[in-house]
Amino acid sequence: MKEEPPALAKGWAECKEEYLGDTGRTYLDTATKGMPPNESLTAMQDYYRALRRQDSRSATDQTISILEHLGEARRRAAALINASEEEIALVESTQQGIRVIAEALRLAPGSRVVTSDVEFLATVVPWRSLAGSAIRLEVVPGCAGAISLEALEASLTSETRVVCVSATQEVSGATLDLVELGRICRSHGVVSIVDATQYLGPRMLDVERTDLDCVVVGGSKWLCNPFGLGFLCVRAPLLEELRPYTYGYMALRLPPGGWSEFVANAAASTEVPAVFTSSASKFEGGGTGPYLSALTLAASLRGLEAVGPARIEARTYELTGALMDGLVDAGMKIVTPRQLPERAGIVTFTTGDEQRDLRLYDVLLDEEVMIAYRKSGSTAGIRVSPYFYNSRDDIERCLDVVKGFTC
């Protein structure tokens, strides 16, 4: 996907002030929670003021107008990954996005779903709920916190219907070649479902190039949205084939006049045959949508667009590269793969001893360097996740604490 640089791209100092100006600490934990821009706060305040003032001619007009927040969030999510708006559904979380696809696939008994033992819980839980009744869950062992595409492909059989994995692992930061993953799944005729929550942002994603069937992205981390809304992308022809178990009226195909015409039409009742949309929004569930979350998601995505996805990727690699070099100089062992194609925005490291890691983790927090400690199986360590709104000074501040650690 070719990207034109923003006409007035923000400088890095401006980005730090915009996103971290109120933090008061060295924030290096976007893999846990992204920092929303000031624009998100302003958008929420404007939303509530408009509700209180009732500037519209009627409350109905105002309700219809705020439906556009959902549309803008879908459009901006689509643009970010080179998809169409019709392929985007807004979902509250990664787990919800995977769950609605898992249910809509209506897999026959005995169908196999392949995942990995290094996966984040939310990627696996929807399949666990189906296991034993409809499907068999095949868990491929990982290696050093990473998924081997060779091992994954070797596990595929004629009964395999789905591969569901994360693009970037939340503990190790190990990152898959999504183009190769898409090729493997397509060549074996299996549905590919990818959790790109820890990937998108630090890395650019082009769903046309990767040829993946479904991509789910939680919004509260690298997309910098408050908790509560992300998105699901379902590509054709799978999109046309899948049918949700239930539809809400938000999934109705509207008349040419949109919601205004729909509301004004007294015949739009139980006697009128419902025609449901073929777009991915049919997976959004029941009644009125998450207006406020969609409003902040759209604002957060506008913020990323203003900086530029290519610049964000380059800046993240610059900061994580400097961090890795400094950690090696400090005698730390890097858990995350060092090669650029095999990582995104997460850098996990260890002192070589779990108890020392935990003590260093506490020291970093005491020194107001916000990071995380994560463990999955035998893979564990202190996880640092800088983003474009961080500075070299933030990296040096973290490294100074690590280098001074003697316990």
Query: In which band, very low, low, confident or very high, does the pLDDT at 128 lie, cut at 50, 70 and 90?
Result: confident
Write out the two tokens for 331: 């005698």
CA–CA distances in Å: residue 276 to residues 256, 282, 283: 14, 7, 11
- Give pLDDT, residue 67: 79
**Ranges 40-44, 54-58, 144-148: which has the least confidence:** 54-58
- Give pLDDT, residue 407: 77
Average pLDDT, the chain: 90
Helical axes 59-66 vs 68-81, angle rounded to 10°: 10
Query: In which band, very low, low, confident or very high, does the pLDDT at 272 lie, cut at 50, 70 and 90?
Result: low
Strand order in the sheet with 333-334: 333-334, 347-350, 379-384, 372-376
- Give pLDDT, residue 51: 81
Query: In which band, very low, low, confident or very high, does the pLDDT at 290 lie, cut at 50, 70 and 90?
Result: confident
Q: What is the spatial distance between Cα 166 and Cα 216, in angstroms, rounded to a whole number?
A: 9
Query: What 3-state class would DSSP assign to 161?
Result: strand
Q: What is the spatial distance between Cα 168 and Cα 291, in angstroms, rounded to a whole number?
A: 29
- Give pLDDT, residue 55: 76
Residues recorded for the chain: 407
Q: What is the spatial distance between Cα 142 and Cα 148, in angstroms, rounded to a whole number?
A: 7
Q: Which domains does the chain have, with CATH numbers?
A: 12-28+308-404 (3.90.1150.10), 60-304 (3.40.640.10)
Please say if the pLDDT value at position 265 is more than 70.
Answer: no
Query: In which band, very low, low, confident or very high, does the pLDDT at 271 lie, cut at 50, 70 and 90?
Result: low
- Give pLDDT, residue 1: 47
| Residue with more model confidence, 58 or 45 | 45
Check if the beta carbon of residue 396 is closer than 8 Å to that of residue 55. Answer: no
| Contacts of 325 by beta carbon, 8 Å cutoff, 6+ apart | none
Q: What is the spatial distance between Cα 401 and Cα 324, in angstroms, rounded to a whole number?
A: 15
- Give pLDDT, residue 54: 77
**Ranges 8-22, 160-174, 343-357, 358-372: which has the least confidence:** 8-22
Q: What is the spatial distance between Cα 123 and Cα 115, in angstroms, rounded to a whole number?
A: 9
Count CA atoms within 13 Å of residue 225 on its CB side: 29
Please say if the pLDDT value at position 100 is more than 70.
Answer: yes
Q: What is the pLDDT of residues 305-334, one digit of tens each?
A: 999 999 999 999 999 999 999 999 999 999
The candidate with the shortest Cα–Cα distance to 28, out of 329, 327, 301, 337, is: 327
- Give pLDDT, residue 171: 97
